[in-house]
Amino acid sequence: MPAPAGPLSPALKVKKSGAEVTIMKVHLKQIPAEGTHLKGKEKSDILELEDDRIKTLGTVEYSVDIGVSGSSLFVTGKLGIDVELECVSCLKRFVYAVRVHNFSAQVELAGPELVDLTPWIREDILLALPVHPHCDWDRKTVCVGPRLKYLKVEKDSKAPNAWDALDHLNLNRRK
């Protein structure tokens, strides 16, 4: 992913629920008539993930084109972050690369010259997370499948067989 943005970085530090987090805000004054390109990183806090099975690794990276047309701000570009997920099959934790290649947002400009793109970024990244994560998503990893303890249904020749037990029961009745 690209290097951090220069002085045009839209990142502003704000206080939010007691903790200082960085969110992506765009100054309209920064956007020339022909539009602009912004790239940089945001702390993964902006995703507000509350699922213990998802752990973010590193930052949210973005590379977007921003333009203003009429009363709307248009944003298109790419987002990415690496996360650690748990395989629903083998329960192994693995790194999943979340990549949004067609991020887009249209924001109506209702007055303030600061536009916060965080909700759009968060939504698109959350939508890109797999609902049922599998460790072999990269087609290189081989998932070992469900753990053996859940699969121990193989017939043990020494174990009593249900039909044998029934036969035994019938014999007893006949006695």
State the residues that interact with Zn ion by CB under 5 A.
87, 89-90, 135, 143
Closest to Zn ion by CB, 76 or 89: 89
Q: How far is the CB of 149 from Zn ion (least distance, A)?
A: 15
Residues with Cβ within 8 Å of residue 112, at least 6 apart in sequence:
none
Closest to Zn ion by CB, 79 or 87: 87
- Amino acid symbol at 161: N
Closest to Zn ion by CB, 16 or 55: 55
Pair 103, 80: CB distance under 8 Å: no
SS3 call for 109 = coil
SS3 call for 159 = coil
Q: d(Cα 161, Cα 54) in Å, to the nearest integer?
A: 43
Q: How far is the CB of 90 from Zn ion (least distance, A)?
A: 3
Residues with Cβ within 8 Å of residue 128, at least 6 apart in sequence:
98, 99, 100
Closest to Zn ion by CB, 126 or 143: 143
Q: How far is the CB of 113 from Zn ion (least distance, A)?
A: 48
Q: d(Cα 113, Cα 28) in Å, to the nearest integer?
A: 5
Q: How far is the CB of 60 from Zn ion (least distance, A)?
A: 26
Closest to Zn ion by CB, 8 or 144: 144
Beta strands in the chain (DSSP E): 11-16, 19-27, 36-42, 55-69, 72-86, 93-108, 114-116
